[in-house]
Amino acid sequence: MNSALQHDLNNFENILEKARQQAIVFLNNLENIPTSKKETIDTNRELNHTGLGSLAVLEEFNNRLAPLMVASSGPRYWGFVTGGSTPASVVGDWLASVYDQNTQAVTAQGGNSALIEFETIHLLIQLLELPKSFLGGFVTGATMSNFTCLGTARQWFGKQYGKDFAKDGISERINILTATPHSSSIKSLSMLGIGSQNYTTIKTIQGNREAIDREDLERNIQNLEGKPFVLISSAGTVNTADFDDFEAILKLKEQYNFWWHIDAAFGGFAAVSDKYKHFVKGWENADSITIDCHKWLNVPYESAFYLVKEQHAALQIETFQNSNAPYLGNPLENFNYFNVVPENSRRLRALPVWFSLLAYGKKGFQDIVENSVSLALHFGNTLIEDESFELLAPIHLNNVCFTLKGDHNQEKVAQFLSKLNDTGKVFMTPTVYQNRKGIRASFVNWRTTENDIEIVIDEMKETLNILSL
Ligand SMILES: *Cc1c(COP(=O)(O)O)cnc(C)c1O
């Protein structure tokens, strides 16, 4: 064995102990770590011929790289939709690396890790109160989940014409209808060869809404004259966390022939709260659903899952099968994850979620969701009371979309946000909503408290002062 490796092997316990101590220092200090950093590194480091050993590298990491890390998992990182990592999820994530399973087949060779993934999906289905008729698995993020679900929808579409698109390529125009798709669904259309421009945009409900307009949807369906289509609907849009009306879509499903996909990356977690589950009423009737765990479930990146109705299992295998062996009989016989997702080799990505669900239970996630929403409302109300800000949209759930009050300030929004983010006390992301420049704050982190809102409001006032706004 190479001497650096041999030395590390002998020293394993000490190395892990050092890493553990470092983790504690970072995690216990997270709220004081800036949410942005100005410094960058020189990326031209030369590769050394002889290995330094883990402890020396840890030291270099601490000197050069660790100071650049931002508190993206901290309580005031409100940009995009960014979750944190609960203690149980960190344990699960570490152990997934330690055990380093290749999660594929449901057999002894797979070391049962695929069964742990089955069990985790089963727990998630209980958390979200979805039926057992969904089969699921883990992928890196909602983007890959949308890709997996829409890839299966593509195969379904071909079947409506008696064709096998996975084998023979796409030979029919695939009709996609959607109102406010996330950019990752559009990216998936591009990756799937459907085309990022080949979709019909349905109007949203009049007024301050991002949800699909039922009448315009029905008009567009009628334009298709009975042809099949794929509907990409939203449970939680990124700007305003708006939801399509799933009960209305269900009625259409009884009348028309379409694949119904729901992107519920973060909004799906509304289902864990009695207060907010009405937003997803009827979603159990979808053909496929995308959900992220690295957002509201507060596990480390990369963690998301797909749910596809069991009746479509064969379509999913046709799309993602790794062997060219003709598929025969029960698709769940000889089940192997590498036949249903883009990846072949896969880590035990379910483990952080498994740990989290058992550690905190349904109540734990209900509390995280309800706390996030109440903080969003609290932040929104504070903005309304301040004469310098206005909300761009009502707060449906956990996202606050606002701007500097008055059209004359539109040109100053970007400058205000960049100055505010430079403080490192908070991080929010810019947006354009209904042709107005705005700012989004998304509340999903388990650590955020009312005290954080106060800290941020103070910084916002200070920034207004500095810019004489
Ligand atoms: C975040 C998000 C995505 C993309 O998720 P990744 O995990 O970044 O791949 C897709 N859809 C919605 C609604 C999202 O919020």
- Do 318 and 369 have their domain in common? no
Residue 348 lies in a domain: yes
In whole angstroms, how far apart are CA 40 and each of 22, 31, 33, 97, 110?
Answer: 22, 22, 16, 28, 42
What's the confidence (pLDDT) of residue 449? 98
The number of folded domains in the chain is: 2
Q: Within this chain, do residues 213 and 238 fall inside the same structural domain, yes or no? A: yes
Residue to probe by mutation, ligand 1, list 81, 138, 178, 182, most atoms within 8 Å of CB: 182
Same domain, 333 and 425: no
Residue range(s) defining the domain that contains residue 261: 90-355
CATH code, 178: 3.40.640.10
Both 317 and 255 in a single domain? Answer: yes
CA distance 202 to 104: 39
Whether 265 lines ligand 1, by a CB cut-off of 6 Å, is: yes
Q: Where residue 420 sits, what CATH number does that domain have?
A: 3.90.1150.10
Q: Does residue 330 share a domain with residue 184? A: yes
What's the 263 CA to ligand 1 centre distance in angstroms? 8
Residues 413 and 305 in one domain: no
Q: Same structural domain for residues 292 and 199? A: yes
Pull the structure tokens for residue 171: 């030979």
pTM: 0.97
Q: In this structure, are 334 and 439 located in the same domain?
A: no
Residue ranges of the chain whose pLDDT lies below 70: 108-111, 324-331
Q: 362: buried, middle or exposed (CB in 10 Å: 19+, 13-18, 0-12)?
A: middle
Closest by alpha carbon to 286, among 395, 149, 447, 87? Answer: 149
Which of 434, 90, 125, 173 lies closest to 309 in space, CA to CA? Answer: 125
Asked which of 340, 355, 370 is the last residue of a domain, the reply is 355
Please tell me what DSSP assigns to residue 315.
H
48 domain-assigned = no
Same domain? 333 vs 402: no
Q: Is 292 in the pocket of ligand 1 (CB under 6 A)?
A: yes
Same domain, 165 and 235: yes
Cα gap 77→70, rounded to integer Å: 9
